[in-house]
Every structure is written in C-alpha cells, then in structure tokens.
Amino acid sequence: MDWVTALPPGRYRSFKECLVLVDRLSKTPIFLSFNKDDIAMDTAIIIWTGFINHRGLLKNTISDRDQKFTSSLWKNIHKCFATKLLFSTTYHPQTYGLAERMIQNLEDIIKRFCAYGLQFKDHDGFTYCWCTLIPGLELEYKKSIKSSTGKAPERLEPNITLLKT
C-alpha cells in the first residue's frame, strides 16, 4: 500500500489523499480517500471499513514508512491478529512496484479529469471531483485482463463475478 498525495480537495471531508492497496496475487486494487490530517486511528478505521471488512485480513502487508503505519497502533493491530506489517525500502521497486504503477495510472486519470474541468455541482452546491471516480476505476480495473496473470483480477477472486457493462 502507498499514498497518492497533493490531490485537489475532494467533496466530503476535503479529501486530498488516496491510499492505494493492491492484492499481489489477483492484482486487485482498492482506492481509499483520505484527509491529509487523518491520524493513525482514522487511517485504521478507514482501512477496516473500506478493505478488511470486505476482503478479510492479510497475512502480511507491505507499506512505505509513513508515520501513519509506523505508529504503535499499527504494530499492536498486527500483533493482535498475528499478521505482519512489512516496510518497503526507499527506491526499491521490487517491494512495492505494483502499488507505484497503480499510483501512476490513478494520478494520470485524476489529472486528466481535473484538467478537463469535468466537475459539476449538485443541488447542495457540492462539486463532484476525483473522489467520485474511485468506485468506477476500481470496477473497470477489476474487469481488465492483466498480462502477468492472463486473467482479469475479478476472475482470480473467489465468489466474485462482475457483470459486463
């Protein structure tokens, strides 16, 4: 997992960051929107509700050395569940290159979306922005065939079949 930072403010809690989690086996991404000021506890709650609650616990997690993940909270969470929190080495693509490639794609899409001014306001005056892209991006990515596996990520996940759109 790794962060996309310095994004334009999003709709709800002024989201300015996106956490990218990628399943190394199926290549399935999960994109979670965050506020720049979220602390380790906020991060843990969002990951629990947005990822672990749907996909389950992972045996090990590779992360960069962000202070949100090096805190004692995260060490205790992994200790309680007998899982491992591993940290990547800076500029070492073998450890988290998959997340880095995913981040490049996500940043490119968000920049194009914002550059073309594809934003509009609803009846409450909220501007729809990059946050509204996230569910659709995840869905489309899950349906696209990956060269490394020869299959779409959704085909490698148990009990999940996505409808064609």
**Domain edges within the chain:** 2-156
Is the pTM higher than 0.75? no
Sequential pLDDT tens for the chain (165 residues): 778 887 777 665 678 888 888 887 788 888 888 887 787 788 888 888 888 877 777 787 877 777 777 778 778 888 888 888 888 776 665 565 777 788 888 888 887 777 665 555 656 665 556 777 788 888 888 888 888 888 887 777 765 544 454
Q: Which residues contact 120 (CB under 8 A, 6 or more apart)?
A: 127, 128
**Whole-angstrom Cα distance, residue 100 to residue 2?**
7
**Whole-angstrom Cα distance, residue 116 to residue 3?**
24
Any idea which residue has 């190394």 for tokens? 24
Any idea which residue has 């020869």 for tokens? 150
Q: Which CATH architecture has domain 2-156?
A: 2-Layer Sandwich (3.30)
Which tokens sit at 51? 């990822």
